Amino acid sequence: MITPVYKKILLKLSGESLMGGQSYGINAQVAESYASQIKEVADSGVRVAIVIGGGNIFRGLSGTKRGFDRVKGDQMGMLATVINSLALQSALESIGGKVRVMTSVGMAPIGEIYSPAKAQEAQEQGYVVIIAGGTGNPFFTTDTASALRGVETGAELLLKGTRVDGIYTADPEKDPSAIKLPELTFDEVYSRGLKIMDLTAFTLCKENNLPIYVFDMDTEGNLAKVLSGHHIGTIVKNN
């Protein structure tokens, strides 16, 4: 059992991360790994809310390049996030986790309609709350949804789980000379032009004093390390 230094978090997962080594869809082993890490921290008393992207199934913006109307494309992307949320719910429940899926638009009986009050009540009862459907509106990313839901539910930290172990001066997968930056302010991210989350999400976090922690979620046990206070990624916060 870990001793967490953060008690309430919003975990943002990308849809692409669920693919693992596949080119499309959901990799069961990745979903199981994520579920195991999430259950570990939830069992230690951390209140967890999760937002998942849908890029492994459909991305609205790329859909417009294939002839889809942007609004319809984004709505299809929202449905993709629901599929991913149900997959993670299933993986968590299979190992004994307590999970509730809430959706930004009405979708009973798949999930109950999201409200900040219901989400926080469920968290206090020990449930992991997965919030699907993005913001419920087109033209907004799931990064923005994660920032919004983090602020609404009173999270102390927004965790962005990726396949990279933090923020670098350049893409470390393309530039071997890239240097890891262990700590940044929101203003430094702006001035350096670093592309970590979209501008709307960053502004929401900055204005509401919600720190962002970028870390490698694909390494088993890293989520527990972050919440135990180990500095293994990059934190972005106000001065």
* Domain containing residue 30: CATH number: 3.40.1160.10
CA distance 116 to 127: 14
- Report the side by side order of strands in the sheet with 234-237: 112-113, 99-103, 128-132, 47-52, 8-13, 157-162, 212-216, 234-237, 183-185
Residue 2 lies in a domain: no
Q: Answer whether residue 158 is part of any domain.
A: yes
* Pairwise CA distance, residues 47 & 9, whole Å: 6
Chunked mean pLDDT (size 10), the chain, 239 residues: 92 93 92 97 97 88 70 92 97 98 95 98 98 96 97 98 91 89 95 89 96 96 96 95
Spatial distance between the Cα atoms of 141 and 143, rounded to a whole number of angstroms: 5
| 232 phi and psi angles, rounded to 5 deg | -110, -5
How far is residue 15's CA from residue 200's CA, in Å, rounded to a whole number?
Answer: 19
From the list 120, 171, 161, 156, the residue with the least C-alpha distance to 11 is 161
d(CA 14, CA 230): 23
Check residue 10 and give its pLDDT. 98
Would you state the pLDDT for residue 87? 97
Please calculate the CA angle 84-141-165 and round it to the nearest 5 degrees. Answer: 70
pLDDT of residue 62: 64
Domain count, the chain: 1
Give pLDDT, residue 63: 56
DSSP-based three-state secondary structure for 161:
strand
**Closest residue by Cα to residue 114 from 50, 54, 162, 159:** 50
Reported pTM: 0.94
Q: Among 110, 96, 100, which Cα is nearest to 43's?
A: 96
> Would 113 be classed as within a structural domain?
yes
Residue at 3 is within a domain: no
Domain membership flag for residue 28: yes
User: Is 1 among the domain residues?
Assistant: no
> Has residue 98 been placed in a domain?
yes
As to burial, measured by CB atoms within 10 angstroms (0-12 exposed, 13-18 middle, 19+ buried), residue 25 is middle
Structural domain of 14? 8-237
Under 8 Å between Cβ of 11 and 48: yes
pLDDT at 68: 76
**In this structure, which amino acid lies at residue 217?**
M
pLDDT at 65: 67
